[in-house]
Chain A
Amino acid sequence: MQYGMLIDYGLCTGCRSCEVSCRKEHDLPLEEWGILVEQIGPKRLGGEWEWDYVPVPSRLCDLCSERRQEGKKPMCELHCLANVIEVLPMDELAKRASELGHGKVSCFIP
């Protein structure tokens, strides 16, 4: 079964626990990443503040297949302080995104 990563990034706080966790789990050097958090804003759009952190998995992300086989959560999902990362089977991604129901949800198939 194919999996993807859903991120409720409207509540991602930019803590970067995902970045550090992934590097540790996959033994990556500091210059590389399995997931990287980008910052957008703060800027005013239509009078409201827009300030987002958007984590993007890289080609090195294997969605922690080994951990998932052992029945464990991917490392970034486990450690994510805001609890906004979910690795899910492809066919559940859209359903879960609409359940979250408040915009600012992203989906990656790395």
Chain B
Amino acid sequence: MHAHPRPIDRPFWSPGVLVMVSLMVAGGLALMTRYIGGLGFTTNLTDATPWGLWIAIDVASGVALAAGGFTTAALAHIFGRRAYEAVTRPALLTAALGYTFVALGVTIDVGRSWAIWKPVFFHNYNSALFEVAMCVMIYLTVLWIEMVPIVAERFGSKIRLLAWLDRTLDKFMWVFIILGVVLSCMHQSSLGTLLVIAPTKLDPLWYTPFMPLLFLLSAMSVGYPMVIVETNIATSSLKLDGEMDVLAPLSRFTILTLGIYLVVRIADLMARGQLGRIFECSSTSISFGVELFIGGILPWFLLLSSKVRRSRRGLFIVALCIVGGVLLNRINVFVVGFSPQTATHPYYPSIGEILVTLGALATIMFLYRLFITFTPVLSARSLKEVSQ
């Protein structure tokens, strides 16, 4: 049986943490230029390509890659597979941090950051973006509510309010857990609806009315691979046991979810007569090929082998491919495949955009490290304990 989650007893400051801090500073400086010179000064956005790296990575990919949160919660708490509870906490933490930065990413990307609250009062039910915004806002709240027990476990004895909150919320926690899954399904798919309104701009390799379904299915299939990747990174950099006893069986579910996604994706491409374009040899079709083969089909076949699933390195690489595939899919939809008729040159992110994105990523990792150090998130035993 698995150990109960607990804070890891490691010194917080390490070379890795220092690298994160320097990236955070660089990102912060780039962010300042956005508020001094405007979006045009810091980014390469134009009237023809109004969405760029921040929407593709910080927002769309951030939401997709935080899918570990709702997929593990569904498995362990809703479908009763308690054995997987060990990974729900780290996945929940990643989701909470991920969505926090999705919200921050949107806030810096919109031209009038100070007006970001306006959709709460001014509604447009026809807009997919409105729905995404509402769901993300509520889901973010739900995620932090779900985080309360974890923080309370550690600090509840010192902070009375926290302990009280924890007790009160406990009665309704089932509501929040289900709500979290429902909200996730809603906005994961609505992110796919965003570009349904722009058929003349998105390359038909990605444009399909089934985008909402594909976005949902790909989010579901990337959830566990993301958990595998982050658990691997965390446990190997902190010299903890790799938790393969949980991760290996977890990856079997991905055979199913990724399989369904790939079948729908390929069937849709064939039905629209686009699959042949893989041989086109343009940068778009190469990006498409990498997404589909290296990020989808190849790892799916590898997952079929139980040898791969049981090897720590093998599983890590396969999971990394799937995560990369979904990431590339979001980049392809919002950047690579987005080619308006009036765009005079393709959009490439500016240094400033890249720095802000890296800074955000570093901040997420920094906070993740902070949480696992001081609150009971990880259940993995240290290697020393394992060998005893």
Tell me, yes or no, whether A binds B: no
